[in-house]
Structure 1
Amino acid sequence: MKNLKLTLGLLALITAFVACDNKKEKEAQKLIGEYTTYVDSINALNKEESAKEWAAIQTEQENKKIQAESAVTVVENKTAAQQEIDDATIKFETYKMEVEKSQAQMHKEQLRKSLFKDNLVGEDLTFAWVNKDNILNVYESFVETVQNNKDSYSREDWDEIKLLYEALDTRKNTVEKEGLSTSDNLKIAALKIKFAPMYNVNRVGAKAEENSEAKE
């Protein structure tokens, strides 16, 4: 009788351990599943929309990944669980690169709109809409906008600004042949003199700041 009680006690103890292990396994698999499901849900989103909320998305991804990787220690098939997490992470990082491209494109478009007052700037940078009657206003707006925002521009912004400025200058060469007045031409020349040192000084400053941040 005593042996029977001992045996039953051991069986009960083993059953409790198994039940506990099964519960931990289920909880761990749930955390891993939540991570992979989250990545799949983000991957299905429009990249332009994700770009607007990317900081929050990445924070949530990092938190869920930490929880999932902690759960690997208690699952039975650790190799398969870790592979599942790794596959989801690769999928997220691939999506992240696409979002970063989208963010860069959106930023470039916003910069161009600010410099040219929402006038369309095509990828060919021909500035076909600029003519002898509005080119002075275009230069004035461009230089004034750069002046007002020079402290906030990154090195990449300054490179884009220089690209646009040179394209506008190319358009000016065409407009000069179409009857640009001497008065407007002289005013544009003065604006160009104002822009050149502003670009050189601030572009160097932005580059130095970028290098300093990289070292940190």
Structure 2
Amino acid sequence: MKTNYLLLGVAIVGASFTSCKSEGEKQAEKTVDSYEKYTDSVSTVTVMDAKENWASIETSYNERTAAAEAALAEFKDKAAAEARIAKAKAKYEELKSKVDQEAAKEVVPVATDRKQVLRNAYFGAGKIGEDMKFDWVNKDNILKVYNDFYNEFDKNKDSYSREDFDEIKAMYEALDAHKNTVEKEGLSSRDNRKIAELKFKFAPKFKWERMGAKAEENADAKK
């Protein structure tokens, strides 16, 4: 009988010890389980939606990852828990890779060619190339295009080289040629008048600045 009581006492103490120890592991299990569910949920989000909300997703992911990794200390079978976390991380990294690829598509390469730098400055990054096509310019936006062109020139006219002026002249002539097409598409008289005013201001200013650049170049060549 004493032996039975002794065994029962040992069993109770052992059970109490096991129960006390497993509470931390149970909580750790919940933490890792929540982490897995989060990455499962995130991995089903479309790439475009993920890209738009990436800052929030990344912050939440980092917080949950830190919690899951901290919970590892509570596991008896740490290797199994680590494998679960690694699998969850892989799902997130796969989505992150897709988001990064999508974001890279929107990055306009920095132009190193001087002519392209000027085209980007006058018309917007990537809108005009060597072909000088203005298909995107229409009766609704052509006045703004001319106005932006004039303002860009007026702002930076003192910094241009003779080669820059040649490129600006080529761009301006190409824009003027496209304007003839736009006029046939229904350009309003009001906008046409305002464009004429801009052209009237631009022509003498451009001629004067270009002459000055040529004179400076000739003077430098004689030194």
Identify the match of residue 184 of structure 1 among 181, 195, 199. Answer: 199
CA deviations on 1:64-115 (whole Å, 9 max, x unpaired) are 111111222222321121122122213212312332444565687xxxxxx9
Structure 1 residue 38: deviation in Å? Answer: 0.4
Write the mapping of 1:1-216 to structure 2, written as runs, cut at 5 A.
1-103=1-103, 126-130=133-137, 135=142, 137-141=144-148, 172-177=172-177, 184=199, 187=202
Separation in 2 of the partners of 1:6 and 1:66? 45
Structure of higher CA gyration radius? 2
- Identity over aligned residues, as a percent? 29
Separation in 2 of the partners of 1:177 and 1:78? 73
SS in 2 for 1:127: coil
Q: Is the contact made by 1:130 and 1:171 (CA closer than 8 Å) also made in structure 2?
A: no
TM-score, normalised by the number of residues in structure 1: 0.54
Separation in 2 of the partners of 1:190 and 1:63? 59
Separation in 1 of the partners of 2:101 and 2:204? 36
Distance 1:133 1:54, change over 3 A: closer
Separation in 1 of the partners of 2:198 and 2:101? 43
Distance 1:77 1:177, change over 3 A: same
Q: Name 1:154's counterpart in structure 2.
A: none
CA-based RMSD: 4.5
Distance 1:34 1:134, change over 3 A: closer
Q: Which residue identity lines up with residue 130 of structure 1 in the other structure?
A: V
Distance 1:140 1:176, change over 3 A: closer
Q: Is the contact made by 2:28 and 2:71 (CA closer than 8 Å) also made in structure 1?
A: yes
CA deviations on 1:102-154 (whole Å, 9 max, x unpaired) are 4565687xxxxxx989xxx6999943132699655314247869xxxxxxxxx
- In the alignment, structure 1 segments of 5+ residues that lack a partner are 109-114, 146-167, 194-216
CA deviations on 1:11-66 (whole Å, 9 max, x unpaired) are 10111222334443332222111111101111111232223332222221111111
Distance 1:56 1:184, change over 3 A: same
